[in-house]
Amino acid sequence: MMLIALSNGSVVHKMNANDFLDMEVTIMEHGFSEPAAHNYIRFLHEGIQKAEVALQDQ
C-alpha cells in the first residue's frame, strides 16, 4: 500500500500495490524508461493535488 498523508496523519491519497503494478502506460509517449516510474510520478502528482484541496478545506 502506498500512502500520501498530511503532517497531521490524514491520508489524502492511497493506492494498493497490486493496482499500481497493473497500471498501463505508453512508455514512449511519456519519456520514462520504466512504466513503474511514470505511474509513481502520476501517483505523487495526484496526491499533491488532493493534499492541496484538503489543506484549503481546513
Nearest CA to 14 among 35, 39, 56, 44? 44
Q: C-alpha distances in angstroms, 38 versus 7, 41, 45?
A: 25, 5, 11
Q: Which amino acid appears at position 16 of this protein? A: N
Q: Is the pTM of this model over 0.85?
A: no
What span, in angstroms and rounded, lies between the C-alpha atoms of 32 and 54? Answer: 30
Please give the grid coordinates belonging to residue 51. 493534499
The structural domains of the chain, with segments of one domain joined by +, span 2-7+23-57
Query: What string of pLDDT tens digits covers the 58 residues of the chain?
Result: 999 999 999 999 999 988 887 876 554 455 667 777 888 888 999 999 999 999 998 7
What span, in angstroms and rounded, lies between the C-alpha atoms of 57 and 21? Answer: 32
